[in-house]
Amino acid sequence: MTQLPTPDELRAGDWMTPRQVAEATHYAPQTLANNRSLGIGLPYIKLPTGRIWYRRADVEALIGRMVAA
């Protein structure tokens, strides 16, 4: 199991919300939700509060692959 980020790590900008990921990748928020449901796409964590977070490095790697394609 992935260790949950601390509040300080979330504030530091190493993690992104689904809305931020949608804006950066131009994916619809619903597409991100569908991918989570299907178990495909970007890795993510779900906090006990129900909030979803994506690691910024994973998002940047995806964008790099999109640009290279």
| pLDDT confidence bin for 3, thresholds 50/70/90 | confident
pLDDT value at residue 1: 45
Q: 27 lies in a domain?
A: yes
Q: Is 24 exposed, middle or buried (0-12, 13-18, 19+ CB in 10 A)?
A: middle
Q: 1 lies in a domain?
A: no
State which residues form the domain around 25.
Answer: 7-68
Per-residue pLDDT of 12-53, as tens digits, reads 889 999 999 999 999 999 999 999 999 999 999 999 999 999
Between 64 and 11, the more confident residue is 64
Q: 39 lies in a domain?
A: yes
The CA distance from 54 to 56, in Å, is 6
pLDDT value at residue 9: 84
The CA distance from 66 to 37, in Å, is 22
In this structure, what CATH number is given to the domain that contains residue 26? Answer: 1.10.1660
Q: 59 lies in a domain?
A: yes
Number of structural domains in the chain: 1
| Structure token digits, residue 3 | 């260790």
Q: 2 lies in a domain?
A: no
| pLDDT confidence bin for 2, thresholds 50/70/90 | low
